[in-house]
Amino acid sequence: MIDPSALIESLVTLLRDIPDLVAEMGGDPERIYAYHDQYPKRASLANAIHTMPAPGIMAVWQGTAPGTFGSVDVWKQQVTLYLRAQETFDGNPPTGYYRLHRLILKGVPTSAGVPMLNLTIHPSCYPMDPPPIQRQSDAEGLDYFEVPITFTEAGDD
């Protein structure tokens, strides 16, 4: 079983390497970041979501589950990307979240030359399963979107 923090850091690094995605973050790659649980400083994911910058993408490890790949027992790492799009002004097309989701799947990191959906994010994992995007609301009732991603481990490190 891999260290999920290494998977998260690799994912963040590759997302920051997609020029169009960074442009959606107002040109600031630091708005794409990892959330690592650190008691007691970072012990509330709900608070971290609520205080996310807009625009912003936060990568979070949700857990590990047993699974199968063909007829082999494997570990599946559950990661969620929390998204806040940049502010949309009157007259601008309402494409913020659609564009973020597309860039997460189809964006090509300059260092890799392969779309994220087909890219090996961590050497011990297969490429991500195609992820959905779904609406959520924070404590104040403000909407954001989340992209739950599953990475299947290749072997048992």
The pLDDT tens digits of the residues spanning 37-59 come to: 988 888 899 999 989 999 999 99
Residues 121-141 have pLDDT tens digits of 999 999 999 999 999 988 788
> Alpha carbon 35 to chain centroid distance?
10
What average pLDDT does this structure show over 63-67?
93
* Cis peptide upstream of residue 132 (ω within 30 degrees of 0): no
Tell me what pLDDT residue 156 has: 59
Q: Are 91 and 60 in contact (CB under 8 A)?
A: no
Instruction: Give all domains of the chain, ordered by start, each with its CATH number.
Output: 4-152 (3.30.2000)
Whether this model's pTM surpasses 0.85: yes
pLDDT band at 157 (very low <50, low <70, confident <90, very high): low
Tell me what pLDDT residue 30 has: 98
